[in-house]
Amino acid sequence: MKTFIDVKNHYFVKTHLSVELDLSSAEYDKRNITCSPPKIAVFRKPNDPDCWLAKLKLELTHAADGTKSLYTGELLNAGEFRLSPEVPEKDRHDYVIQSTGAILYSAMREWVATLTARSLHGMVELPTFDSRSFLPPKPKPPEPPPAPPESKEKRKRPKK
């Protein structure tokens, strides 16, 4: 099967998970895991226009309302990817961001599940993300100009 992107390699640059030991029974029952939105950066290799490098960072934190998470920490995953020359130039950057983000995040989900499977609070599965969420926000289209005010005078119909 033909693919438009191939993984040359990927690896974890940083994996740090801490087990929260001081949970109330209510916090434990919530099974809370709070993730910051993953941050991705992609770079095109200057000497090879079809080769891209990508890094994805994810932080696990306590909830904004103060609820403690079962685990906290930081993960950084990186990889090298080969993009098919068939992908049009105008689409390449967005295609790489979406695809590499999905591939690297999937590896992070697997890694966290593996690391937590035999930990104090048991296995945790990170939430899934729509791969379009890795794309930077598109600029909003300009607002349409306001409609001209309607005349209060009645228009006369042309005579036949």
pLDDT, one tens digit per residue, over 95-132 is 999 999 999 999 999 999 999 998 888 888 888 888 88
Give the class (CATH, top level) of 5-134.
Answer: alpha beta
pLDDT digits (tens, 9 = 90+) for 20-45: 888 888 777 777 788 888 999 999 99
Kind and range of the H or E run holding 10: strand 5-19
pLDDT at 158 over 70: no
Examine the pLDDT at 1 and tell me if it is beyond 70.
Answer: no
Quick one: pLDDT band at residue 157, thresholds 50, 70, 90?
low
Q: 40 Cβ partners below 8 Å, 6+ apart?
A: 54, 55, 56, 57, 97, 100, 101, 104, 134
Closest CA relative to residue 81, chosen from 13, 4, 7, 131: 7
What pLDDT digit, counting tens, does each position of 51-108 carry? 999 999 999 998 888 888 888 999 999 999 999 999 999 999 999 999 999 999 999 9
Residue 141 has pLDDT above 70, yes or no: yes
Please tell me whether the overall predicted TM-score, pTM, comes out greater than 0.75 for this model: yes
Q: Please give the pLDDT value at position 146.
A: 78
108: its two tokens? 């992070």
